[in-house]
Amino acid sequence: MKHLFTTLSLTNFNEQDILGTLTEDLNKSDVSLTFRWTNNRQLLFYKLHLKSNGKTVDLLNRVTINNASGSYTFHIGNFDEDTEIEISYGVFAIVSIPKLIVILSQTNPTVGFQTSPKDPGTTNKIDSGNRLEETIKYKVQ
């Protein structure tokens, strides 16, 4: 969920401050990373790091996510235009995953593209007990 009005001072504000803060919040881009894989196959997300402005953050907070739904989306964050980000992730196939893709998307402007494998329309295959680790470098539009 998008957090609005986080920079609004609660000690001294008026209606113009509210409108200005809202405009600023809505001009930022939400960036998400979606994993789409063969349904009913166990996939374990064990690493999701974001590097931006020289700082690295563990977006999973040292927790693993075990999922078999075939689709999972992570909200990476809100960013201003031209912000350079680096996303590193790691997934582990508990069972063989015949098809898996990774899609990066952003709002404002609406952008979405396949990042893994890089050729649109192709898929990754991960054998049981194997990992897929990759890093994406992206400049927010």
Structure tokens given for 19: 């409108």
Q: Are 49 and 56 in contact (CB under 8 A)?
A: yes
Q: Are 106 and 139 in contact (CB under 8 A)?
A: no
CA dihedral 29, 92, 49, 62 (to 10 degrees): 120
Q: Give the pLDDT confidence of 94-134 residue by residue, as tens digits.
A: 999 999 999 999 998 999 999 999 999 999 999 999 999 99
This prediction has a pTM of 0.86
Structure tokens given for 110: 């609406």
Between CA 117 and CA 37 the distance in angstroms is 12
**Residue 1 pLDDT greater than 60, yes or no:** no
**Amino acid 6: pLDDT:** 84
pLDDT band at 2 (very low <50, low <70, confident <90, very high): low
Q: Give the pLDDT confidence of 49-84 residue by residue, as tens digits.
A: 999 999 999 999 999 999 999 999 999 999 999 999
Structure tokens given for 77: 């964050």
Question: Which contiguous run of DSSP H or E holds residue 30?
Answer: strand 29-37
